[in-house]
């Protein structure tokens, strides 16, 4: 469960999506926007899904090798998924794992070797859990793909209680 109002979480997801959509459709991978911090409520022993939006370069398909966390401390990254956006799918931000019935979640495919078509957007989804009783953190979500690596500008705090951030 996330300790944010639904409106605030939706705002974060939309801000990331707008940053990705604001691209001129160039030849660069668009992943993340302005630096931001997010607190994700992860109870001890539970797992959460964190999500981010990316846009593949306009000139070539993007083949994902791995999605993970940069600078992870006290948190483990688990399964990773990709969901091409479109067909009425709304990006997933942060939610319980597994999410309740959700069209976007139901359309997921494993991230490894997944292809995002040139110029198309996708929701990157990563299952995370705290690796102990202490809170955790990460300096960003990272996507490794054929030809490169990119990390978004979101700093994550994984805590039992996000009301005191």
CATH, residue 122: 2.60.40.10
Residue 1 lies in a domain: no
Structural domain of 70:
6-159
What per-residue confidence (pLDDT) applies to 86? Answer: 81
Tell me the pLDDT of the chain (165 aa) as tens digits: 333 433 334 344 434 444 444 434 467 999 988 999 999 999 888 899 999 999 999 999 999 999 999 999 999 999 999 999 988 889 999 999 999 888 899 999 999 999 999 999 999 999 999 988 889 999 999 999 999 999 999 999 999 999 975
The vertex-152 CA angle with 97 and 9, nearest 5°, equals 45
pTM for this one? Answer: 0.82
Is 59 part of a structural domain of the chain?
yes
Q: In angstroms, rounded to a whole number, what is the distance separating the alpha carbons of residues 23 and 38?
A: 23
> Is residue 101 included in any domain, yes or no?
yes
Domain tally for the chain? 1
Q: Has residue 32 been placed in a domain?
A: yes
Q: How far apart are CA 29 and CA 38, in angstroms?
A: 22
């Amino acid at each position: 469960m996330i300790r944010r109002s639904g409106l605030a979480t939706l705002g974060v997801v939309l801000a990331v999506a707008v940053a990705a959509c604001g691209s001129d459709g160039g030849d660069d991978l668009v992943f993340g926007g302005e630096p931001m911090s997010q607190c994700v409520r992860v109870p001890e022993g539970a797992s959460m899904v964190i999500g981010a939006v990316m846009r593949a370069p306009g000139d070539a398909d993007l083949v994902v090798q791995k999605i993970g966390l940069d600078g992870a401390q006290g948190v483990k990254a688990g399964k990773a998924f990709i969901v091409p956006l479109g067909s009425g799918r709304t990006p997933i931000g942060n939610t319980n794992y597994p999410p309740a019935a959700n069209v976007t979640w139901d359309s997921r495919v494993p991230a490894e070797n997944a292809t995002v078509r040139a110029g198309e957007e996708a929701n990157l989804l990563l299952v995370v859990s705290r690796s102990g009783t202490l809170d955790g953190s990460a300096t960003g979500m990272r996507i490794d793909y054929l030809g490169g690596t990119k990390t978004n500008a979101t700093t994550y705090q994984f805590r039992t209680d996000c009301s005191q951030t």
